[in-house]
């Protein structure tokens, strides 16, 4: 009987750390809960919408999902992390051709969008009236095109997004560490 209790306890512990975690919209914006990888860096999909002189970002966590009445609202229905931009860091490091702009007022979406994988650091710079934090992209470990169409990506459920992210980010980490 003790053995069964131990197995149950162990399995419940494993399940509680399983990804993606189902969270509320408020929890989704919690950096420690939904955005940090095992190295302590922020990791995310970023949908970059191309504007005239910059890219507008929309962040999607690979580790958490917002679910309402059994429906995944992570893409299109959940709030995104708000950033003031990257001060030209991504362009300077030749990750992309233009800087990442602010998405504080709105998540500007254009017809020209690409999905990227991001790992780096964000620095909190202030909070909005609704208490949502605003960050600046302060360091980029990697930022690369996921090479997946918006249509294909939209068909992924949360587990597919997580597996896809893990697969691509493991290769990126290995390349980066071998540079």
pLDDT tens digits, 5-54: 333 333 333 334 578 999 999 999 999 999 999 999 999 999 999 999 99
Positions of E strands within 25-171: 42-50, 55-60, 64-68, 71-72, 82-83, 113-127, 133-145
- Per-residue pLDDT at 53: 93
- Per-residue pLDDT at 170: 82
CA 99/CA 85 separation, integer angstroms: 8
- Taking the domains of the chain in order of start, what are their residue ranges? 18-178
pLDDT tens digits, 82-100: 999 999 999 999 999 999 9
Structure tokens belonging to residue 15: 């399940």
Q: Is the pLDDT of residue 177 over 70?
A: no
pLDDT tens digits, 52-80: 999 999 999 999 999 888 888 887 777 88
Q: How many residues belong to the chain? A: 179
pLDDT tens digits, 89-141: 999 999 999 999 999 886 566 678 899 999 999 999 999 888 889 999 999 99
Q: Tell me the whole-structure pTM to 2 decimals.
A: 0.83
Please give the mean pLDDT across all residues of the chain: 84
- Per-residue pLDDT at 61: 95
Cα angle: 90, vertex 28, 119; to 5 degrees: 25
- Per-residue pLDDT at 128: 86
For the four alpha carbons of 59, 107, 145 and 159, in that order, the dihedral sign comes to: positive
């Amino acid at each position: 009987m003790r053995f069964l209790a131990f197995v149950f306890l162990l399995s419940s512990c494993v399940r509680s750390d399983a990804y993606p975690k189902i969270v509320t919209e408020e929890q989704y914006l919690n950096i420690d809960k939904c955005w940090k990888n095992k190295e302590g860096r922020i990791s995310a999909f970023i949908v970059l919408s191309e504007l005239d002189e910059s890219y507008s970002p929309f962040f999607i966590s690979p580790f958490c999902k917002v679910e309402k009445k059994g429906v995944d609202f992570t893409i299109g229905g959940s709030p995104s992390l708000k950033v003031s931009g990257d001060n030209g860091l991504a362009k300077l490091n030749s990750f992309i051709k233009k800087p990442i702009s602010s998405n504080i007022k709105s998540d500007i979406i254009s017809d020209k969008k690409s999905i990227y994988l991001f790992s780096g650091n964000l620095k909190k710079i202030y909070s909005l009236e609704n208490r949502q934090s605003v960050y600046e992209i302060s360091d980029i470990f990697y930022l690369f095109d996921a090479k997946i169409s918006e249509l294909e990506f939209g068909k992924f459920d949360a587990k597919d997004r997580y597996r896809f992210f893990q697969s691509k980010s493991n290769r990126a980490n290995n390349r980066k560490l071998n540079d």
